[in-house]
Structure 1
Amino acid sequence: MKKLTNKDIQDISVDILVYIDELCRKNNIEYSIFYGSLIGVERHKGYIPWDDDLDIVLTRPNYEKLLTLLRKQEKYILLSPEDTKNYRYAFAKLVDRNTKAISKQYYNSEDEQLGVYVDIFPIDGFPTDLEERKEFGDLCELYRANMVFSLNNSYAISRSWIKAKMKRVLYYPKYRKLLKQGDFDYWQKKYEELVIKYPIKDAEYCGYMEFINIYWGVFPTSWFKEYEDVEFEGHTFRAIKERDKFLRLRYDDYMMLPPEEERVTHHPYDFYFRD
């Protein structure tokens, strides 16, 4: 198999997002480029040069509409908690069929179909009261962590073979104890039922449940009311109008480049063209 360059990965993922954008515009579904990709919009008019994936977010109703449409297409592979057996993530990925990801981690439990992708995150509601938000966020994270911990040998995941073997021995008793409460399907179901407890249409605050730092991972729902076109890699995509507020909350001075030694991708994969 031929290994992809970072430019290959960026170009393929942009093509995936072009497809998503066309689908969303045709069906009146609002989405926003998000996280590091949104820094790319503001700072580079495209990819952060050393980055290798694209992130978008949708409010839960729009997320479900988009996934319904993606299930009907065959151009790309849809990986999601609702559609993929033993899928370790709490969000969806739309994957290029002609590429393959090979993880650098041991005991990673990645799906065999994983290749170059666009991450698709749902945004859900949170309680208004701060203490309730903290308790709710902690419980969501507990269920999500238990979900991943109970999947095969994911509790031992590591880039180091020695550390992976040590973790497998050290955490095996916890793994067996957890399985007595419920297996992966059990914890996934509990997580998926919990995160939609507060419908976003009625919520004052919202966030993506996997990144629920109570101070930078929860935001006013009003930030997801208005969207506009933005430029990214020579294409026009969608983003929330209040992106400066989000970026300052999440990343502080996001227009400042990080130190040179930090300008590397943190994703634990190498990507290849499939034979």
Structure 2
Amino acid sequence: MTSLIERIHHVALGNLDQFVQLCEQLNIEYCLLGGSLLGAVRHQGFIPWDDDVDVGLLRTDYDRLITEAPSLLTTSNYFLQTPQTDENYGLSYAKLLDRRTYIEEKNNVNNARKGVFIDIFPLDRIPSDPGLQREQLAKFQVLNARILFQLRYHLVDTPLRKFQSDLTPEQLAEVAALKVERNAVMTQYQTTASIQFKNLASQYSYDKEIYSISELTDLTSVPFEQLMLKIPKDYDNILTRMYGDYRVLPPENQQTEKHLDRLIMDNQVFTD
């Protein structure tokens, strides 16, 4: 019997294939990040228990993607979800959603559009000075928290949620202004000569996901399930920095990074 995570992997591969096609059409580079990079190297595909997919682009390429890709997707089954294309979406990065699906996530209740997705992260220049790094991150985190609070992101659903009225145009305009301010903080070092790059929305501790330009531009293609996807050639140093001895599987009781609780597709509901 096909499990929930196997169904999600199957759909997410379609998202990845569409994403790669967009990058090829726009002549922009991407690479796998985080657990998806680890999965590509250690499993030649998904980490078996993980339903998350992470890809990253340098900020200039990311901005081109979110600007130009929507017009390329108008006749497709995919939706590029960004802080601008979905006014109820509060995160600082993009997602590519499969419109034919609906999902419910663990510990993430909100009014944004839902569907099986891949995460698309901008990789921004950061300062070399640790004090300026802390200052930028603190500003980002404060703005991020304000946006998520105002868009009513919650860890759990409650019966009272259905009685809440929709956000007013004035409230949505206030959130939109905060999104612009957050983006300005993320990109404040973009025109500097900084040689360090970071995914500011990363779940990992700060130092573990700082990249050099060569790590993000010197790429190779490797098998990922049925696809060929791009990863940094220096993946060994990146993964060692992030995970230590990344070739060793975690204990079985830690093989539980499932983000999704429920999937609706083909007029059917799937749960584990």
Deviation at 1:115, TM superposition (A): 0.8
Matching residue of 2:252: 260
The correspondence of residues 1-275 of structure 1 with structure 2, limited to 5 A, is 5-72=4-71, 73-74=73-74, 75=76, 76-105=78-107, 108-111=109-112, 113-152=113-152, 154=153, 157-159=154-156, 183-199=174-190, 202-211=193-202, 213-273=205-265, 275=267
3-state DSSP of counterpart to 1:270: strand
3-state DSSP of counterpart to 2:122: strand
Matching residue of 1:171: none
Change (3 A) 1:133 1:222: farther
Deviation at 1:238, TM superposition (A): 1.0
Aligned mates of 1:274, 1:79 — CA distance in 2: 22
Deviation at 1:47, TM superposition (A): 0.6
Aligned mates of 1:200, 1:125 — CA distance in 2: 8
Report if the CA contact (8 A) 1:32-1:238 is conserved: yes
Q: Deviations over 1:4-34 (max 9, x none)?
A: 7211110111111112112212332110011
Q: How many residues align?
A: 253
Aligned mates of 2:105, 2:206 — CA distance in 1: 30
Report if the CA contact (8 A) 1:200-1:221 is conserved: no
Deviation at 1:228, TM superposition (A): 1.3
Deviation at 1:269, TM superposition (A): 3.6
Aligned mates of 2:57, 2:233 — CA distance in 1: 14
Aligned mates of 1:262, 1:161 — CA distance in 2: 28
Q: AA paired with 1:192?
A: N
Percent sequence identity over aligned pairs? 27
3-state DSSP of counterpart to 1:71: helix
Deviation at 1:274, TM superposition (A): 5.3
List, as ranges, runs of 4+ consecutive aligned residues in structure 1 with deviation greater than 6 Å: none
Which has the larger displacement, 187-196 or 212-221?
A: 212-221
Aligned mates of 1:158, 1:130 — CA distance in 2: 32
Aligned mates of 1:185, 1:27 — CA distance in 2: 27
Q: AA paired with 1:57?
A: G
3-state DSSP of counterpart to 1:197: coil
Aligned mates of 1:104, 1:129 — CA distance in 2: 36
Q: Deviations over 1:123-155 (max 9, x none)?
A: 001012122112212221221122212223x3x
Matching residue of 2:166: none
3-state DSSP of counterpart to 1:192: helix
Aligned-residue Cα RMSD (Å) equals 2.6
Q: AA paired with 2:249?
A: L
Unaligned segments of structure 2, at least 5 residues: 162-169, 268-272
Report if the CA contact (8 A) 1:47-1:232 is conserved: yes
Change (3 A) 1:23 1:201: farther
Matching residue of 1:174: none
Report if the CA contact (8 A) 2:239-2:246 is conserved: yes
Q: Deviations over 1:11-63 (max 9, x none)?
A: 11111111211221233211001110111111000111111121100001111
Unaligned segments of structure 1, at least 5 residues: 166-178
